[in-house]
Structure 1
């Protein structure tokens, strides 16, 4: 039997390490910029998605934002408790709950918009302006091409 020797891999050469760190940084910057609103990045994504497609159910929401279907209910619970979304029973399927953004949720999205845009600008600020769109394009390629490897694949349609 061949014996294996433990080898330390250089983190500085592992893209996954930098992706994880960038995600931590993105959450930190988001929380810093939006602290006055008491909104998390996942809550923002959910609220924004429901605003774009009123009447979606929780499963569609989870697929649309790439979030686990078993925990999206807790996110919606918190949005509902804050008065930002309402659930309504689907006329076609009494088991399904359709989501709508309340007027308070709409106002929150309008109010938080500048802070979210500032978050994105802060994250990309170290890149030259001409490289920002290319970086975003490459991120989309990597995410879309590896979507099925996710624990919560996002619906790409």
Structure 2
């Protein structure tokens, strides 16, 4: 019988717990109040300005209900602005504000420290291999996700 500690699903869940805890500790110690999902949304808006909420959800593989709340919180904190689109008055485009841009720049050391701490048991070659294998697994399992990553278009 397989020990739970040898099951990939269990180890992935544990690593996610660790990752979120390290992110929270590193960003809080640096004076920031941001979740990993909020950071992902801001970084995606930096890289894809003017997208709508549905596209944002697809880019970071989150369901639209979750992203709606995330965008609302980021907007209320002055990091994101929603604007009515010129080509479709029913749709809203999302852009970072100057405050959002500034946050992304100043939080980078905490983000780098988070990534280093999460993988601190691996040497450089192992880290690269670990990332490669995680990408391979997430790419091949993408269709099973409740909110699959949108891999089409210019993402």
* TM-score computed with the length of structure 1 as normaliser: 0.93
For 2:93, what is the secondary structure of its paired residue?
strand
Q: CA deviation at 1:30?
A: 0.3
Q: CA deviation at 1:92?
A: 1.4
Q: CA deviation at 1:129?
A: 2.0
1:19 equivalent in structure 2 = 12
For 2:65, what is the secondary structure of its paired residue?
coil
Of 83, 86, 106 in structure 2, the residue corresponding to residue 88 of structure 1 is 83
Aligned residues: 150
Of 108, 118, 131 in structure 1, the residue corresponding to residue 103 of structure 2 is 108
Of 123, 127, 141 in structure 2, the residue corresponding to residue 128 of structure 1 is 123
1:2-81 maps to which residues of 2 (within 5 A)?
10-35=3-28, 36-81=31-76
1:5 equivalent in structure 2 = none
Superposed CA deviations along residues 109-151 of structure 1, whole A, max 9, x for unmatched, are: 0000110011001011101222110100000000011001000
* TM-score computed with the length of structure 2 as normaliser: 0.94
Which stretches in structure 2 are left out of the alignment for 5+ residues? none
Which stretches in structure 1 are left out of the alignment for 5+ residues? 1-7
For 1:107, what is the secondary structure of its paired residue?
helix
Q: Which has the larger radius of gyration?
A: 1
Q: CA deviation at 1:10?
A: 2.2
Distance 1:96 1:20 in 2: 36
Distance 1:94 1:73 in 2: 18
Distance 1:69 1:77 in 2: 12
Q: CA deviation at 1:9?
A: 5.3
Give the aligned CA root-mean-square deviation in angstroms.
1.0
